[in-house]
Every structure is written in C-alpha cells, then in structure tokens.
Amino acid sequence: MHEILMVLAILVVTTGTVLAAAAITTGWMLPGGGRAKVLRPRVWGYGTLAAMAGIGTYLFFGPLEGPDMGDFTVAMSGMAVFAAGLYVKRLALKPARKTSS
C-alpha cells in the first residue's frame, strides 16, 4: 500500500508542477469554471509551484517517510510553504495593483 501512495503522491506533485510551469511560461491554464476567476495566470502558476513544493516536502518527509513520522520540523515547514502557495494563488484572483509611475 505504501508504494501505491508514493506513486500517487509523485503523480500529483508532478502534474501540479507541470501545470504551474505552463501557467508561468505561457499563461495557459486548464479549461474549466475556475479559470475565469483567475485574473493573473502567471501569479497563479507561481502559487501552484510553491504549493507543490510544500506539499511534496510535507508528504515525503512526513507521513510517507514511515511509522516514525520522519522529520517533523521539515514536514511542518512544508505545510507552511504550502499555505504560502495557497495565499499567492488567492492573490492571483485579484486584479493587479496600479502603480503611479
């Protein structure tokens, strides 16, 4: 069962990373209802990239490490990075600030 969970976690993190890279480089996002709400796809991509790094760190240093829970502080740092990535993704829903120049 552990191997199946590892494969699924790798698949999810890799897919998220590829979608984030596509949003950062080209501004492309998957079609769907949520796409219309995102005003800045590149910012969304950076948020997704940070979230994938955080959740990957959490999973591979935490629950998927084994019964001893791995390195707790590194796993919780991964959750903090994940939360920061979600915050950046939230900022992508708002219009860009106007600068006076």
Q: What is the pLDDT of residues 5-18, one digit of tens each?
A: 999 999 999 999 99
Task: Label residues 21-36 b or e (16+ Cβ within 10 Å = b).
Answer: ebbbeeeebeeeeeee
In three-state secondary structure terms, 70 is: coil
> Helix, strand, coil: what percent of the chain each, to 5?
75, 0, 25
CA distance 77 to 80: 5
Whether 36 contacts 29, CB under 8 Å: no
For the whole prediction, is pTM greater than 0.85? yes
- pLDDT on residue 72: 86
Instruction: Evaluate whether residue 100 is within a structural domain.
Output: no
Give the CB-side neighbour count of residue 9, counting CA atoms within 13 A.
19
Q: How many domains does one find in the chain?
A: 1
| Domain assignment of residue 64, yes or no | yes
Q: Is residue 96 part of a domain?
A: no
Confidence at residue 69, expressed as pLDDT on a 0 to 100 scale:
64
Instruction: Give me the residues of the chain with pLDDT under 50, please.
Output: none
The answer to whether residue 99 sits within a structural domain is no
Residue-range definition of the domain harbouring residue 83: 2-28+36-91
pLDDT the model gives residue 44? 96
Give pLDDT, residue 101.
63
pLDDT of residue 58: 93
